[in-house]
Amino acid sequence: MPSATVGAEKTGYHGCDQTVADKVLTQGEHLYLSANDYDWLGGGTYFWEDSPDRAWIWAQRHPHPAVIGAHITLGHCFDLLQPENVALLRRHYRVFRNDMRLAGTAWPVNTPLFRRLDCAVIEHMHAYRDKQGFPPFDSLRGAFEEGEPVFPGSFLRTLTHIQLCVRNRACILSYFPAAPP
C-alpha cells in the first residue's frame, strides 16, 4: 500500500489569464480540471507549490496574465517525494507496459516539454486502482526539473519546482489573488 500524505495543507499558485482569475475570484467558479496527455501528473488542476513567481512566469503565456493562489489540503495524496510511492509507480509501469503490449497500442513518449509517458502511466495507475477498489488519490505531488542548467555542468535547473495536481476539487479550500512579483 502506498504512503499517502494525508491532510497536509499547502499553498499553491496557478498561472492563468485574467478572465479565468475573475471567474474564480469573483464568481465562485473553480479552476478547470486539465486532462491533457502531457500533464505529467495526469488529470487535475495544477499548482506550483509555494511559488507565486513560477506561476507568474507561466501566466506570461496569456494575453492578460494573472495568478490565483489557493489554500489546499492534499487529502489522500500520491506524493512522489516519498520513496515507497516512486516504487509503486515503478511497479505499475510494468503493468502499464504489459497492458499496452496486449492491446497493441502506440507507446507514448516523453519529451522535454511533454511528459506523455509519465501521464499515461499515472492515468493507467488511477484506472487500475479504481478497478481494484482502492481509494482514489485526491492529489499528486512531485518535483519537476525544468529549465536550463543553472551554470555549465550543473544538474540544478533554473525552473525546477514542486508541482501539485489536485484531482478532487474539495481539496481546494479557498482561492485568493496573488500580486505580481
pLDDT in tens, 20-54: 999 999 999 999 999 887 788 999 999 999 999 99
pLDDT in tens, 90-138: 999 999 999 999 999 899 999 887 899 999 999 999 999 999 999 999 9
Q: Taking the model in full, what pTM does it have?
A: 0.92
Using the predicted structure, report yes or no on whether residue 170 has a pLDDT greater than 70. Answer: yes
Using the predicted structure, report yes or no on whether residue 1 has a pLDDT greater than 50. Answer: no
Alpha-helix residue ranges (DSSP H) falling in 104-162: 116-132
| Rounded Cα–Cα distance for residues 88 and 174 (Å) | 31
Please give the average per-residue pLDDT across 129-148, as a whole number. Answer: 94
How many independent structural domains does the chain possess?
1
User: Within a domain: residue 126?
Assistant: no
User: Within a domain: residue 42?
Assistant: yes
Q: Residue 44's domain spans which residues?
A: 4-82+136-177
User: Within a domain: residue 112?
Assistant: no
Q: What letter would DSSP give residue 110?
A: B
Q: What is the CATH number of the domain that holds 156?
A: 3.90.228.10
User: Within a domain: residue 122?
Assistant: no
User: Within a domain: residue 119?
Assistant: no
